[in-house]
């Protein structure tokens, strides 16, 4: 499924319970012979950042089980390996961050950077898939099996107080309450809701197609072969349930910690520093008036009256890019 290997794959091949069709380099649609009940479509994407290998290995394991006949395809799905060139290079990206480019009006026709070209291919694949399969599910379905999902799987560049957590893209439509127990059952320990548009891949499905979607952070970045996939077996069970159209394992949503983004911390100038060590863990708490960052243009950023937690801090981002999320603790969504 890696882009340059696309020519080695047949355009269509049989699978137990259905068949697969190559839609674009690194993009394969799974089409069941018969869809089980009200089972909805699923998009599963990995490798949007090339050095985040655990999700690639996890999807490969699930695909191998399907190919070996251990699973029977009974629901439509689109499998995406995002950025083959960065995967081969073992880097997050080559020229610019692919996971900030999924905005229709923000793409420049004359920009030839690899990530922008790839974003165009992926957006078209997403548009085509949801144009066909968005109606196969119902966001008001009685259980999560009938809710269309996009699961964009990543790993974080640093340690986290919650190693496995979901980022809910900004949307005026709330996530169906029956989805949260599914994420808890898949081993997610926390959920973070965005407060504004972020133009990530998961945001694209939710914003442009109204599909319930998440960026899933599944541990920490590691090279191929160094990932402990046993910790991700509950997530594998969720993926398998989606492909087979069966109810996934669930757990109480209240077991997860929930957060809401208060603001994005942006790097405005070249002279920018974060006021803490580079190895600080995601979701570290900062209390009232504590210093977070210093920028030659924007000055100091300090915590207000309500304690905040820092997520995705990175002082080395490009100027004008997000250097951290500042988030506050909130209650679990009511059922």
- Name, in order, each residue with C-beta under 8 angstroms of 267's C-beta and a sequence gap of 6 or more: 295, 315, 317, 318, 319, 320, 321, 322, 323
> What is the per-residue pLDDT for 105?
79
Tokens in use for 158? 């640093």
Instruction: For the chain, give the secondary structure using H, E and C.
Output: CCHHHHHHCCCEEEECCEEEEEEECCEEEEEECCCCCCCCCEEEEECCCCCCCHHHHHHHHHHHHHHCCCCCCCCCEEEEECCHHHHHHCCCCCCCCHHHCCCHHHCCCCCCCHHHHHHHHHHHHHHHHHHHHHHHCCCCCCCHHHCCEEEEEEEECCCECCCEEEEECCCCCCCCCCHHHHHHHCCCCEEEECCCCCCCHHHHHHHHHCCEEEEEEEEECCCCCCCCHHHHHHHHHHHHHHHHCCCCCCCCHHHCEEEEEEEEEECCCCCEEECCCCCCCECEEECCCCEEEEECCCEEEECCCCCEEEECCCCCCCCCCEEEEEEEEECCCCC
Helix orientation angle between 114-133 and 201-209, rounded to the nearest 10 degrees: 40
pLDDT at position 45 is 98
Tens digit of pLDDT per residue, the chain (335 long)? 455 555 555 688 899 999 999 999 999 999 999 999 999 999 999 999 999 999 999 999 999 999 999 999 999 999 999 999 999 999 999 999 999 999 997 666 667 889 999 999 999 999 999 999 874 444 445 578 999 999 999 999 899 999 999 999 999 889 999 999 999 999 999 999 999 998 999 999 999 999 999 999 999 999 999 999 999 999 999 999 999 999 999 999 999 999 999 999 999 999 999 999 988 999 999 999 999 999 999 999 999 999 999 999 999 888 888 899 999 999 998 75
**Cα–Cα distance between 167 and 156 in angstroms, integer?**
12
What domains can you pick out in the chain, each with its CATH number? 12-135+142-255 (3.40.630.10), 262-330 (2.40.50.630)
Q: What is the pLDDT of residue 136?
A: 47
What per-residue confidence (pLDDT) applies to 149? 97
Q: What is the pLDDT of residue 87?
A: 97
**Residues annotated catalytic, as ranges:** 217
Contact 58, 146 (CB under 8 A): no
Centre a 10 Å sphere on the Cβ of residue 268 and count the other Cβ atoms it contains: 16
- Gyration radius of the chain's alpha carbons: 20
pLDDT at 137: 44
């Amino acid at each position: 499924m890696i882009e340059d290997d696309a020519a080695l794959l047949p355009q269509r091949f049989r699978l137990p319970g259905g068949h697969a069709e190559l839609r674009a380099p690194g993009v394969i649609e799974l089409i069941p012979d018969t869809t089980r009940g009200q089972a909805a479509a699923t998009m599963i994407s990995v490798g949007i950042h090339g050095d985040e290998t655990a999700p690639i290995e996890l999807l490969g394991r699930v695909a191998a089980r399907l190919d070996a006949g251990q699973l029977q395809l009974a629901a439509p799905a689109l499998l995406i390996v995002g950025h083959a060139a960065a995967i081969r290079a073992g880097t997050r990206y080559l020229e610019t961050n692919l996971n900030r480019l999924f905005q229709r009006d923000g793409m420049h026709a004359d920009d030839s950077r690899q990530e922008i070209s790839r974003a165009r291919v992926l957006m078209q694949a997403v548009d085509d898939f949801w144009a066909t399969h968005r109606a196969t599910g119902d966001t008001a379905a009685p259980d999560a099996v009938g809710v269309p999902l996009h699961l964009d799987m990543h790993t974080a560049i640093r340690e986290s107080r919650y190693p496995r957590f979901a980022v809910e893209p900004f949307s005026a439509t709330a996530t169906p309450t029956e989805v949260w127990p599914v994420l808890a059952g898949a081993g997610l320990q926390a959920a973070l809701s965005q407060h504004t548009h972020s133009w990530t891949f998961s945001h694209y499905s939710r914003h442009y197609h109204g599909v319930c979607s998440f960026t899933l952070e599944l541990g920490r970045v590691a090279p191929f072969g160094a990932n402990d996939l046993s910790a991700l077996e509950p997530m594998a069970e969720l993926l398998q349930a989606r492909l087979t159209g069966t109810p996934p394992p669930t757990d109480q949503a209240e077991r997860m910690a929930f957060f809401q983004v208060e603001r994005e911390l942006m790097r405005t100038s070249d002279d920018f520093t974060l006021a803490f060590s580079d190895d600080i863990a995601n979701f570290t708490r900062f209390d009232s008036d504590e210093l977070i960052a210093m920028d030659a243009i924007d000055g100091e950023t300090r915590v207000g009256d309500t304690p905040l937690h820092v997520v995705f801090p990175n002082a080395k981002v490009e100027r004008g890019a997000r250097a951290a999320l500042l988030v506050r603790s909130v209650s679990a969504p009511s059922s």
